[in-house]
Structure 1
Amino acid sequence: MVMALPLWVSACQQEAQGSAPRAPPKAAPAPARPPVTDVTAEGYVMPPLPKGHVRLEDAFGGVHRVEVEIAATAASRARGMMWRTSLDAGKGMLFLFPHEEVQGFWMRNTLISLDMIFITADLRVAGIVSRAVPRTFESRSVGVPSQYVLEVPGGWTEKVGIRKGSAVRFDGVSGLAIEP
């Protein structure tokens, strides 16, 4: 008890003089992590993509409107729908390519099933890959040239009746530059 008394007196004197007991020194902040530059990495932060709409005519003459993010650069096309855990009905991603040619897509790092609608330069459905299996490396193609590819939730094309040859129209796409 005799030893504790001087400590208590010292603390009371510091309080009376307006000085508080010293706080322990702060730890140095953790070094900043370098930004992730691999567009296919989960931690990569993709800048916001332009938005537009795609209208597709179904087998019965009805029209279905899809709100899309537009991938018109090499980086945004490489990233695509990777690491997304959901895609609502009526939403999708439109890939724009500089030239019409046979396109192939894979599902690397893609966590959800997708339908891939391959679209010709004259805006007709060239073919559809339905319900692509997530996280696979198999190249998916319809084997004929296309300049655009629209990805929508898996099973959507069957549900609404989109078929090969269906007419397509883009809204909000015409002014965008397509990078090689």
Structure 2
Amino acid sequence: MTRGLRWMGVAMPLLLATACQQEAQGSAPRATPKAAEAPRPRVTDVTAEDYVMPPLPRGHVRLEDAFGGAHRVEVEIAATADSRQRGMMWRKELAAGKGMLFLFPHEQVQGFWMRNTLISLDMIFITSDLRVAGIVSRAVPRSFESRSVGAPSQYVLEVPGGWTEKVGIRKGSAVRFEGVAGLDIEP
């Protein structure tokens, strides 16, 4: 028995030395690398929070107030079905003087909801002859209730909630677009 123990006492250090030498030379087995994560599928639902909307065209809307003054709003322009459906969803803020202008191919009674919209908005419905048809003030966020003024409009301007009252925009106010002419309006 002592001969077996003596052999193990000599053999073990030799085995360990050989294993260390193989590892140093790169011949020892390596841990298998983790499989690369599969790329995330592209989100195609325009109402999803993680949908990446292409940049929208920009322009300006000038509105006349009840006292003869004018107020200029810098707008993103939603002229496609996808951009109109997405609208202001998932935005956490909208600065004064900013908004979104929705362009429709024809004048008709428009209805808007606040699904996935996190901020209160004023909705200014505008006729094809560029007059304010009516205003929905301070629309409640995250609501599925359809909001309309019950009158035909071809354009809708969304601005921060309470803005129209603050600056004196009223039904019948004149509107002018800047940088909007020539844009294609998708059905």
Give the TM-score, by structure 2 length. 0.87
Residue of structure 1 aligned with 2:183, choices 160, 163, 176: 176
Q: CA deviation at 1:27?
A: 0.5
Q: State which of 50, 60, 68 in structure 1 corresponds to 2:75.
A: 68
In the alignment, does 2:96 pair up with 1:89?
yes
Say how many residue pairs are matched: 179
Question: What is the one-letter code of the residue matched to 1:69?
Answer: E
Structure 2 vs 1, CA of residues 149 and 23 (structure 1 numbering), >3 Å: closer, same or farther? Answer: same
Kindly indicate whether residue 158 of structure 2 is the aligned counterpart of residue 151 of structure 1.
yes
2:50 matched to which residue of 1? 43
The question of 1:25 aligning with 2:32 is answered yes
Q: How far did 1:42 drift?
A: 1.1
Map of 1:53 onto structure 2: 60
Give the Å deviation of 1:81: 0.5
**What is the letter of the counterpart of residue 103 of structure 1?**
Q
Aligned AA for 1:90? G
CA change 1:10–1:56 in 2 (3 A) is farther
| 5+ long unaligned stretches in structure 2 | 1-9
Over 3 Å off, 4+ runs: 2-17, 19-23
Superposition deviation, residue 25 in structure 1: 2.4
SS of residue in 2 equivalent to 1:135: coil
- Quickly say closer, same or farther: Cα 1:7–1:156, change in 2 above 3 A: farther
Shift in alpha-carbon separation, 1:15–1:176, aligned structure 2, 3 A: same
Shift of 1:154: 0.3
**Residues of 1 paired with 2:109 and 2:19: CA distance?**
80
Q: For the aligned residues, what is the CA RMSD?
A: 2.1
Displacement of 1:6? 5.6
Show the counterpart of 1:134: 141
Change over 3 Å in CA distance of 1:20–1:50 after alignment to 2: farther
One-letter code aligned to 2:102: F
Partner Cα distance (1:9, 1:59) in 2: 92
Instruction: Give the SS at the match of 1:78.
Output: helix
Larger mean CA deviation between 103-112 and 20-29 belongs to 20-29
How far, CA to CA, are the matches of 2:17 and 2:169 in structure 1? 85
In percent, how many aligned pairs have the same letter? 80
Quickly say closer, same or farther: Cα 1:24–1:52, change in 2 above 3 A: same
- Per the alignment, do residues 6 and 86 of structure 1 end up closer, same or farther by CA in structure 2, a change over 3 Å counting? farther
